[in-house]
Amino acid sequence: MSASAPVQFRNTTLGATVAVLQATEPPALADALHKMFGGMPDFFNGEAVILDFAALAEVPSSIDWAGLNSLMRRYRLQPIGVFNLPPEHGEGARRAGLAQLDEAVTGNPRQIETPAPARAPEPPAAAPQAPAPSPQPATASTMFIDRPLRSGQQIYARGADLVLVGGVSPGAEVIADGSIHCYGPLRGRAIAGAQGDDRARIITSNFGPELVSIAGVFRTFERGIPETIAGRAAQVRLSGTENTLNIEALQPI
Partner 1 sequence: MKVIVITSGKGGVGKTTTSAAFASGLALRGYKTAVIDFDVGLRNLDLIMGCERRVVYDLVNVVNGEARLNQALIKDKHCENLFILPASQTRDKDALTEEGVEKVLEELQHMGFDYVVCDSPAGIERGAVMALTFADEAVVTSNPEVSSVRDSDRILGILQSKSKRARDGGEPVKEHLLITRYSPKRVDEGEMLSYKDVQELLRVPLIGVIPESESVLHASNQGTPAIHLKGTDVAEAYADVVARFLGEERPLRFVNYEKPGLIKRLFGGK
Residues that bind partner 1 (CB under 8 A): 38-42, 74, 76, 147-153, 166-167, 169-172, 184
For the bound state, the minimum distance from the C-beta of residue 76 to partner 1, rounded and expressed in Å, comes to 6
Residues shown for the chain: 253
Contact call for residues 132 and 151 (beta carbons, < 8 A): no
Our CB check for partner 1 shows the closer of 41 and 128 to be 41
Residue 199 CA to residue 211 CA, distance in Å, equals: 18
What is the number of alpha carbons within 13 Å of residue 149 lying toward its C-beta?
Answer: 34
Give the other-Cβ count within 10 Å of 96's Cβ.
16
**Which 8-state DSSP code applies to residue 85?**
-
For the bound state, the minimum distance from the C-beta of residue 56 to partner 1, rounded and expressed in Å, comes to 28
Our CB check for partner 1 shows the closer of 90 and 152 to be 152
For the bound state, the minimum distance from the C-beta of residue 184 to partner 1, rounded and expressed in Å, comes to 8
Residue 253 CA to residue 191 CA, distance in Å, equals: 28
Our CB check for partner 1 shows the closer of 38 and 97 to be 38
Residue 1 CA to residue 60 CA, distance in Å, equals: 46
For the bound state, the minimum distance from the C-beta of residue 21 to partner 1, rounded and expressed in Å, comes to 22
Helix/strand/coil for 49: strand
Alpha-helical (H) ranges within 38-105 are 65-74, 90-95
Our CB check for partner 1 shows the closer of 86 and 133 to be 133
Our CB check for partner 1 shows the closer of 26 and 178 to be 26
Distances (CA, A) of 111 to 6, 18, 238: 34, 7, 27
Our CB check for partner 1 shows the closer of 71 and 217 to be 71
For the bound state, the minimum distance from the C-beta of residue 174 to partner 1, rounded and expressed in Å, comes to 13
For the bound state, the minimum distance from the C-beta of residue 226 to partner 1, rounded and expressed in Å, comes to 21
